[in-house]
Structure formats: structure tokens, C-alpha cells
Homo-oligomer: A and B are copies of this chain.
Amino acid sequence: MRFGTLEAGGTKMVLSVGNENNELLEQASIPTEAPEKTIPAMIDWFRDKGIVSLGIGTFGPVDLNPASETYGWITKTPKPGWSMKPLLPPMRDELGVPAIIDTDVNAAALAEWKLGAAKGLNSCMYVTVGTGIGAGLIIEGHMVHGLVHPELGHMLLRPEPNDPSPKGFCLFHDSCLEGMACGPAIEKRWGKKGYELPPDHEAWDLEAAYLAQMCVNAICSFSPEKIILGGGVMQQRHLFPLIREKTQKLLNGYVQHTAILDSIETYIVEPGLGTKSGATGALLLAQEAYAG
């Protein structure tokens, strides 16, 4: 059985074909341009692949309500050309296969929960820290949509006293998580890209402090059983011990669970599926679409 998967990102569309054993068999990448150009190109790629269904993990904001007339549309976004544009409907209709869409981070959370770092648990949070910051949540065994879908990148944080840019760089909010800690925020604050900064640069202590605030607020808000941190910025693996230490220090013993008090190195973790969480999640969505 062959399933189509799409990871729709702001700069590229990653297409692949996977099977019922959760293996990704072949992959292609198409730059994200105007939907009038990019969507037909994606349909063309899938047309002779013999897929039985399609799973999409996408950038947002996206309408995830299956009962809505704009299900599978990108909703209002500053991204040129994509505001209020259908993504799922033309692909489903042209390819003639059932399709399911979710956010890229919900797809990644789903894969990490079914097959990766959170396997066997009832809940987890998957966070990507890269060009933007977003989170997908599994809570009590269910992927979380709610009113819209989580927009964790816009959680408000308290500026650290040693931050030279205490308001951050979000166009919408002062001192929100994304504005403080995404890749472009690191570059704007320090004048260099993250990967150009050495591991002992003060940027990383500050980065870890904001990501630790995020972990604390997630733990206090919905108590996930595992926090999984992925995305480009988290390739700086020296961040992990800093984030864990600062999370414990901020919580100050208040949340009394061994996962946090005694074994935080297995609580705040890297993705179990490496860089394949998103595509694997889209494959799981495609399998679900096929099963109906």
C-alpha cells in the first residue's frame, strides 16, 4: 500500500510516499511559491505514484475543522499569496484520494507519540524551534485542536534581566516565545546566525532560559508526560542540559514528580524519530484517511 505525505513549510514542500510499515520510500522537495504554481506541481508529482490517500502536516494558521467550509485552507497569514487559500481540497480532489490535514507540529507530535520518544504515554508536547516556534500536543491520547490549534510560539514570557532585546522581535507581541527565541530572533539579537555562535556564547544561556520558561508554563498548564524539542535551533544539542537545569530551577521543586525531580534528562528530550517526525506524522494521517 502506498500513501502520500506532504510536509507543507514556509520555504519548501516536502513530498513523500510511505507504506503501511511506517517507512518513507521516496521523497521530493518543491520550493514554496504562490499556491497557483506550487499546488499543481505537487499534484503532478503525486499523480503517477499510486497513492491511496494523502496526509498533510502544514504551516499555519490552518482551518482544521472537518465540518467547516474552509477545512484544509490556510487562513489569514502574512505569507504572500497564501492568505485564505485552499491547500487540502485541490489536492484531494485532483488526486481523487481521501486526505487529512493537521499542523506540521501536531503531525510530528502524533508520530513521536505513536512511534517515537513518547510511545506508550498518554500525552506529550512536540515543539519545533526554528524559523518560528510552534507546538503540537497529544493530551489524554488525543491530538489537540481546540478553538483553532495551539500557537505556542506566541505565549508571553518574562524578559530575562540580561536580555539586550527584552521586547523580542515578534511583529504582534512584546516578549512572546517566538519573538524571544526563534532562529531569526537569535540572529537579530546577536548579529549572527545561531550556528555561527560558539557554544559558550551568552546567547545560549539566554535561549535556554526562554525555552525553560516555556517548559515550566507547559508543565503548569497541561502537565505533558514528555516534552520533545526539535527544529533547527535544537541542533545545538548543548542547549538540552541547560534547558533541563533551568526548568528544574524555575519550578523549584513545586511539581513533585520523579520525571522532573529525578530524571529530567528523559523528560525533556530530542525527537525519537530524528528529523523524520513530521513526515512520519503525515504518513500516519494518510493511513488514517485511508482507514476512514
Interface positions of A (Cβ within 8 A of B) = 61, 75-76, 122-123, 135, 137, 139-159, 172-173, 175-176, 213, 216-225, 250-257, 259-260
Q: Specify the chain B residue showing the minimal Cβ separation from A216.
A: B156
| A196 CB, min distance to chain B CBs, angstroms | 29
For the residues of A in contact with B, the DSSP-based class is loop
In the bound assembly, the distance between CA atoms of A262 and B224 in angstroms comes to: 32
A223 partner residues in chain B, CB cutoff 8 A? 144-151
Judging by beta carbons under 8 Å apart, are B158 and A158 in contact?
Answer: yes
Judging by beta carbons under 8 Å apart, are A150 and B257 in contact?
Answer: no
Judging by beta carbons under 8 Å apart, are B217 and A146 in contact?
Answer: no
Known contacts A155-B217, A172-B251; 12 further A-B pairs (Cβ under 8 A): A139-B146, A140-B142, A140-B143, A142-B142, A151-B219, A151-B223, A151-B255, A155-B216, A155-B221, A156-B216, A172-B253, A221-B222
Judging by beta carbons under 8 Å apart, are A142 and B144 in contact?
Answer: no
Pick the residue among B142, B156, B256, B259 that contacts A217 (CB under 8 A).
B156
A224 partner residues in chain B, CB cutoff 8 A? 146-147
In the bound assembly, the distance between CA atoms of A226 and B71 in angstroms comes to: 21
The 10 closest A-B pairs by CB, nearest first: A146-B223, A140-B142, A158-B158, A172-B254, A154-B220, A155-B220, A147-B223, A172-B252, A151-B220, A139-B139
Judging by beta carbons under 8 Å apart, are A147 and B257 in contact?
Answer: yes
A257 partner residues in chain B, CB cutoff 8 A? 147-148
| A107 CB, min distance to chain B CBs, angstroms | 16
A220 partner residues in chain B, CB cutoff 8 A? 150-155, 176
Judging by beta carbons under 8 Å apart, are B172 and A146 in contact?
Answer: no
Q: What are 16 A-B interface contacts by the 8 Å CB criterion?
A: A61-B256, A139-B142, A140-B143, A140-B145, A146-B224, A147-B223, A147-B259, A150-B222, A151-B254, A153-B220, A155-B217, A155-B221, A158-B158, A172-B253, A176-B220, A217-B217
A147 partner residues in chain B, CB cutoff 8 A? 123, 219, 223-225, 255, 257, 259-260
In the bound assembly, the distance between CA atoms of A172 and B157 in angstroms comes to: 18
